Amino acid sequence: MVKTQPAAVMRRQIRRVTSAGIEINDDFLAVEEPLEIRVAFRQNGNATWQNISVTMRTPGNDHELAAGFLFTEGIIHDLRQIKKVENSVFEENLVLVTLADSCEPNLHNAERNFYTTSSCGVCGKGSIEAVKTVSRYVLENTMVVTHEELFGLAGKISGSQRVFEETGGLHAAALFDQNGNLLHLREDVGRHNALDKLIGAAFLSNQLPLAGNILLLSGRASFELIQKALMAGIEMVVSIGAPSSLAVQLAEDNNITLAGFLKKDRFNVYTGFHRISGL
């Protein structure tokens, strides 16, 4: 029997307290469920498999999340390395990625303490070296945008964040072209999962690298998110929240334009000023 995908939103009865009194109402919550990512491959001619990660995520786009995670973690690097991605028919919340017979995954980049939270993907790493991944792409200077184009980005995702609008509890990662047209958007309770879903969708569609596009993050810009953007060949990252010091350093070292504190009439630019006209 094929099991249905868990819902991304659940209803719960609450008591809303205001200065006028107490009301009993229904509220909507963003669902948080564990997802186990398992890889099947051949090693020394023998079929084997390994659990790679359990991450807390919002159900939906799980195949993209698994593929994006394997790619941005450097465990695989080419779409041809994947034979198939499927949900387990025996276990809920488990995605199995079967690799091509000739592919042996780079499991040195899977040094995690197995469980990662929805708020942090790096903090489950087993060593400092395991945090680092190396991109296949060299970022060029292929795009220039105006500051007016960036002003309008946040407003363009508001109508596309379906689950956020119901719950107020999700992060979003959105991809725009350099003219400010929304191309893709993914949501998740974990900011790193939202970006893995977005990059995974591009990876499974053989659209990498994502040069010439703008990545918008609904929250802050952390080191891990800039690293994932670098793995996908993204030249410009704009966040509605603040960047961290290490995120700025990583962006500067790798020729990424990084802007933060985006509002409808202002933003700060930390690195890569040459990609925004007039700076």
Phi-psi region of 124 (alpha: psi -120 to 50; beta: other; left: phi over 0): alpha
| 120 catalytic per annotation | yes
Asked if 250 and 269 count as a contact pair (C-beta separation under 8 A), the reply is no
Would strands 182-188 and 115-116 be described as parallel, antiparallel, or unpaired? unpaired
In angstroms, rounded to a whole number, what is the distance separating the alpha carbons of residues 163 and 140?
35
- Residue whose C-alpha is closest to residue 240's, from 163, 156, 115: 156
Would strands 257-260 and 268-271 be described as parallel, antiparallel, or unpaired? antiparallel
Q: What angle do CA 86, 92, 97 make, to 5 degrees?
A: 25
Beta bridge partners of 278: none
What is the widest separation between alpha-carbon atoms in the chain? 70
Asked if 121 and 130 count as a contact pair (C-beta separation under 8 A), the reply is no
- Residue whose C-alpha is closest to residue 65's, from 214, 200, 261: 200
Catalytic residue among 9, 79, 100, 120: 120
Active site residues: 120
